[in-house]
Amino acid sequence: MGLSRRTFSALAGTTALGLALTGSGSLATNARTSRSVPTGPPPSPPTADGRRHSVGFDRYSLIVDGRRLVLWSGEMHPFRLPSPSLWRDVLQKMRAHGHNAVSVYVAWNYHSPAPGAYDFTGVRDLGLFLRTAAETGLYVILRPGPYINAEVDAGGFPGWLTATEGRARTADPTYLKHVDEWLTQVNAIAARHQFTKGTGTVLLYQIENEYDPSGGGAGLGATARDYMSHLYKKVRADGIDVPLFHNDKGRNGRWLPGSFDTGGEKGRWLYGFDGYPDPARTPPDWGHFGVGGRTGGATASPRTPGFLPEFGGGWFDGWGGATFQGKGYAEARRTRDAAYERRFHLTNLANGITLNNVYMTFGGTSWGWLPAPAVYTSYDYGAAFDEGRKAASAKLAPMHQIGHLLQRVPDFAKLDRAAAVRARDDRLKVYHLTNPDTGFHVYVVRNDTDEDISSTMPDAGFAVPFTVPARDALLLTADLALGRRKLKYATVPPMFCVTAGRQDIALFAGRYGDMAQIALESEQDVEATRLDPEGAWIYDRGLLRVTAPLGVGGLTRVRVEAAGSERPLLLLFADDATSLRLWPFDTPSGTVLVYGPPLVREVTVRGDTVHLTGDTYGATGLEVWAPRGVGRVTWNRRPVRTRISVTGSLLAEPLLPGVEPVTLPALDSGWRRRTEDPESEPDFDDSAWTVADKKTSFSITPVPEGQPVLFADDYGFHYGDVWYRGHVTEAAGAESVALSYSTGTQGLLMAWLDGTPLGTHRMPVPDKDTVGKGSWADTATFDLPRVLPQGAGDAHVLSVLVRPMQHDQDGGADDAHKVARGLTAVTFKGADTGAWSQPEVRWRLQGAAEPDPVRGPLNNGGLFGEREGWHLPGFADGEWRTVDLPHADRGQGVTWYRKTFRLAVDAGTDASIGLVLDDDPARAYRVQIFLNGWNMGQYINDVGPQHTFVLPNGILRTRGTNTLALAILSDGTTPSGPRDVRLTLLGVAAGGVPVTPVDSPGR
C-alpha cells in the first residue's frame, strides 16, 4: 500500500504545547578510558576503490583504516538463488535495510562435478557475486569451508568425495590433497576481491565450520589441530590476508587464538561462535553479563571483539513439518518476529557483540538435489526476506532500525559494562553500558513477562515513563551527540542522525502509538517549530523536551534552531512501519535521506540532480533531503517535479506511480503426458549400464559378506534416482526377496520382477525426535508373484528404483556423508526350506547421465525421462497424449507431464511468481518440478508441508515462453495427480532490477 499525499503535507505549526515532564536527574558515568582507537566516524561504505586498506581489531570491534566498525551482516547463499541478476536485488535490499555486510558460504559440491573439475561460470560465478556485493556497498564475510554444513547435501562436500579414501575433516593426506585443490580454486577468486587490496570488499574469511572432532567433548586432538593449522597456512599461502576466523559450534571455547599453529602469525585470528536460542526462552547472556570464561561466548576470547558468525534469524524445517507443527516457515517467522529480534539482538549488543551475522537474512531455495536430508526444497528459514525476495515487514523493522543505528552512531563500537541500574518495576531487566570516550550511555531494558510494563529509571535520569511490550525489549540512550546538539535522554530508540544539506536530521522510531519523549540540552534562546500537528515541545531548565505519538499521522517533524546557529536539527518521529520508508544513503557529495517509497535501491548525485532507483507498490509520495546545490530528482530514470518544503526537503508534487496489475495464465489444460519405467521390463537393454562388480568400498556402511558393492556412490551416481537391474539365475524356488537399502529422509524404493510390480517401500515421515536424522536404513520384503522356477539357466530380471534423498552431513566429523545410498544387500527366501539364500545375481545400475554443463551436477537424477531430455525445453513431445487437469493415474512408477505457457509481465515490473501444487493429502505421490530444464524442487503430496515453489526470474521468462515438466513418482497404492497446478503471485513491485535470462539450453 502506498503512502498518500496527506502524509507528505509539510504543515508549518509553531504553537508550543505544554508538557508536564520531570527533570532528567543525573547519569552515571564510567571514567575509565581506553588507550585503543578512539570513538570517531565509522569508515566510509566499502567499494572496490583501488586503494589499499587495513583491517584489524581490538577487544571492542573491528578497526578498518583506523576507524571502528560495527558489523551488521546478513547471510545469503548465491547457490540458493540460481539467477545472478537477482543477487543484486537481494543485496540491494539488505544494504537499504541497514546491513553493511553479507556473509556467504561457498559450496564445494556446487562447483565440482568430479575430481579436478571446477566450474565458476553462470549461476556459479563467485567472482560476479563478489563484484555485485562491492558495487552494492557491502563488506563480504566469505565462508568456503571446505565443510560448510548449511543444510546442503553432504554439508557441501562434493558427491565424488563420498567414494574416496581418507577420513574427511582430518589431517589425512588424501583428504587434504582434495581440500587443497578446492581451496586453490576458490582462493584464486577470493584473493582478487579482498578489501585490503582495494579490489573488492571481502573483509573476513572463515576456515572450516562448526568443527568439533571430539563429538561434543572438551578435547581437541593433535590431528584436529594439525588440520586447522594446515587450512590456516594454505589460505595464507594462497594470498588471503584479511583476518581469519572459525565458527565455534555453540559456546565451547574451541579454536581460540593460540589453540593451533598459525606459522608464527599473531593477532590475525578471530574467535567466533554461533547461537540459535529458543525464542520461547529468556535470551542468554553471551558476553559482558554472562557466566564468563571459555563457555561464556565472547568472554572466551577477551582480546578479540564479540563475534557471532551465525545468529538465528529463523530456523529450517524438515519433511513432514514436525519442527513447526506442519505450518511451515510462516510459523518460523511468527515465532521469531519483531519482538524476538529486539529481545535477542539487543541482548547480544549489551553483551559486547559488535560482529553480528544473521543466519539467514535471505534463505532462498535448495533447488535440484542440493538439500540435505534434513530439509525440503524451500529454505525460506523464516528470514527477514522471504523465499520470493519479499520483505517480511513486521520482522524487518527492528533489523532495519538496529542496522542503521549501528552504522551511524559510532558510539556503539566501543562500549563497556557500566554501573548497575534498576527500573522502578523490577520485573524489567536492565543492561547499562557506556562509551569511555564520549560518555554516551545505552540501556537495554528487557521484558521477559507476558504483559506490557510501563516504568521509569530515575537513577539513570529516566523519570519520564516508558513502556516495554510483553516479551520484548527497548533500547534507551542518553548523552548522545545529535549533530551539534546532545540528547540528554530518549524514551524511544534513535535510528540515525545524519547531516543532509544545511541541517542535522535525527530519527526516533518505535511501536505505533507509543509516546516518544526526548530531551535535548539547549541554550536559553532555543527555538522549536512544530511542522506536523502531532509533535509538541516545551523548554524547561536548559532542556528542550519534545513529545510525539509514533506513527499517528505518519511521519512527525519538529525543527530545532538556536540564534546564531547555521545548522538546525530536524527531529523525525516514526513508528515501525514508517521507519521502513526512510532511507539514508551516503554519497561522495554527502548524505541523502529519502522518505516515502517502500524500497530505495540506489542513490547517486550528479551535478544538481539526485538520481534514485527503487520500488513502489501503490502510488506513494517522495521526499528527499539532499546535499547543498541539489535541486532536481529523478526516480527510476524519470524526472520528478518537486518543490522545496518547510523542512528544506525536495517534496515530489505528483505521487510516484504504483505497480500495474499482473495477470497469470491458467495451467489446467493443454498438458502432454507419457509414462516411462522401461527399465522395469525384462527385455530392456541394460548392456551399457555400469556393472556392479566392486568388492570393497570407502563407505562407512559395511559391504555384506558374499555380495557385491551396490552403493550408488561407488559407481559415480551421487544425485537423484538410481535404477538397478538384477539378472537372477539359480533362484532355487525363491518365494520372496528382501531388499536392504539406505537413503536420506523420505527415501523410497520400488521393485518389479519381470515387469510385474512388487511394491513400494518408503522411509517413515520424521517426527520431532527424528527430524534431524540424516541417514535411514531399512529392508523391504516383497512376496514374489510366483515361486521362481528351479531349473538351471532360468533367468529373471529384478528391477529396483531407489530415490536416495541425498547424503547426510558430516557435522560430527565422523564421515557421516559416506553412509551408503541406494541398495545395500539383496537376499531371497526359498519356498521349500524357508531359509534365506543368495542365488546368482548379476547387477547393473544406472543413475544420472553426465552432469548438465550449464545447470550443474545437482540438477538431474537417473530417471529415464531425465536421461532422455524430457525435462528440457524444445523436446519433441508432439506424440505424447494430451490431457487436462485434474488427471489421475493409479500405477507404480513414473509419469511425465509437460506444458508450455507464456508470460507478459510489463517491463519495469518485478513479479515474483511461484508454482502451487495441491491435492488430496491421502494420495501418495511425489513430483520433480522442472522449469525450462532447471530442477526447481520436489513435492511430496502426502507428506508436505511445502506446496508453493518459487520460480526465480531469469530462469522464469516473465516476458516469453516457458516449459514446465513434472515427473510424477507414484507408489501405485492410491490415485496420483496432478490435480491442482497453478501459478501464484508471491510479490509484485514497480521497479526491481534488470534481469538477464539464465542460459537454459534445450533439445
Average pLDDT of span 442-455: 98
Question: Which three three-digit cell numbers place residue 186?
Answer: 576458490
Given a contact cutoff of 8 angstroms between Cβ atoms, the answer to whether 122 and 854 are in contact is: yes
Predicted pLDDT of residue 526 = 83
Backbone angles phi, psi at 682, to 5 degrees: -65, -25
Whether residue 1 is predicted with pLDDT greater than 70 in this model: the reply is no
Whether residue 218 is predicted with pLDDT greater than 50 in this model: the reply is no
Predicted pLDDT of residue 4 = 43
Task: Tell me which of 112-126, 265-279, 698-712, 774-788 is least confident.
Answer: 774-788
Given a contact cutoff of 8 angstroms between Cβ atoms, the answer to whether 385 and 318 are in contact is: no
Whether residue 445 is predicted with pLDDT greater than 70 in this model: the reply is yes
Whether residue 21 is predicted with pLDDT greater than 50 in this model: the reply is no
- Taking alpha carbons only, the member of 446, 558, 565, 459 closest to residue 508 is 558
The residue from 75, 208, 310, 676 that is catalytic is 310
Q: Which residues pair with 777 in a beta bridge?
A: 742
Predicted pLDDT of residue 735 = 87
User: In this structure, which long-range contacts are made by residues 177-184, counting pairs with CB atoms below 8 Å and at least 24 apart in sequence?
Assistant: 178/115, 179/146, 179/231, 179/234, 180/234, 181/115, 181/116, 182/108, 182/112, 182/118, 182/144, 182/145, 182/146, 183/144, 183/146, 183/231, 183/234, 183/235, 183/238, 184/238
pTM above 0.75, yes or no: yes
Average pLDDT of span 32-39: 66
Predicted pLDDT of residue 564 = 66
Predicted pLDDT of residue 773 = 96
Average pLDDT of span 928-945: 98
355 to 62, 497, 748: CA distances (angstroms): 8, 22, 44
Average pLDDT of span 358-385: 98
Whether residue 461 is predicted with pLDDT greater than 60 in this model: the reply is yes
CA atoms of 257 and 957, how far apart (whole Å): 50
Question: Which three three-digit cell numbers place residue 420?
Answer: 548497575
Question: Which three three-digit cell numbers place residue 818?
Answer: 559416506
Write the single-letter amino acid at 154. Answer: A
User: Average pLDDT over the chain, rounded to whole?
Assistant: 93
pLDDT tens, 893-932?
Answer: 999 999 999 999 999 999 999 999 999 999 999 999 999 9
Average pLDDT of span 390-417: 96
Task: Tell me which of 311-315, 558-562, 981-985 is least confident.
Answer: 558-562
Q: Cis peptide leading into 146, omega within 30 of 0?
A: yes
Whether residue 784 is predicted with pLDDT greater than 80 in this model: the reply is yes
Predicted pLDDT of residue 830 = 79
CA atoms of 124 and 147, how far apart (whole Å): 18
Average pLDDT of span 170-191: 98
Predicted pLDDT of residue 642 = 98
Given a contact cutoff of 8 angstroms between Cβ atoms, the answer to whether 425 and 605 are in contact is: no
Whether residue 869 is predicted with pLDDT greater than 60 in this model: the reply is yes
The sign of the torsion formed by the CA atoms of 374, 380, 384, 385 equals: positive
- Taking alpha carbons only, the member of 723, 716, 718, 732 closest to residue 792 is 732
How buried is 438 (Cβ within 10 angstroms: 0-12 exposed, 13-18 middle, 19+ buried)? middle
pLDDT tens, 375-394?
Answer: 999 999 999 999 999 998 78
Question: How many C-beta neighbours within 10 Å does residue 131 have?
Answer: 18
CA atoms of 788 and 831, how far apart (whole Å): 9
pLDDT grade for 522, boundaries at 50, 70 and 90:
confident
Residue with cell 531388499: 739
Backbone angles phi, psi at 411, to 5 degrees: -60, -25
Given a contact cutoff of 8 angstroms between Cβ atoms, the answer to whether 622 and 640 are in contact is: yes
Instruction: Say what percent of the chain tops pLDDT 90.
Output: 90
Predicted pLDDT of residue 961 = 98
Task: Tell me which of 128-142, 395-409, 759-773, 832-846 is least confident.
Answer: 832-846
> Which residues touch 206 (CB under 8 Å, ≥6 apart)?
141, 142, 143, 144, 244, 245, 246, 247, 272, 309
Query: 210 catalytic, yes or no?
Result: yes
Given a contact cutoff of 8 angstroms between Cβ atoms, the answer to whether 847 and 721 are in contact is: yes
pLDDT tens, 798-824?
Answer: 999 999 999 999 999 999 999 999 999
CA-based angle 155:156:162, to the nearest 5? 85
The residue from 75, 151, 208, 210 that is catalytic is 210
Gap between the terminal Cα atoms of the chain:
44
CA atoms of 872 and 853, how far apart (whole Å): 13
Q: Is 156 helix (H, G, I), strand (E, B) or coil?
A: helix
466 to 149, 412, 446, 924: CA distances (angstroms): 43, 22, 12, 56
Backbone angles phi, psi at 749, to 5 degrees: -140, 140
Length of the chain counted residue by residue: 1003
Instruction: Say what percent of the chain tops pLDDT 70.
Output: 94
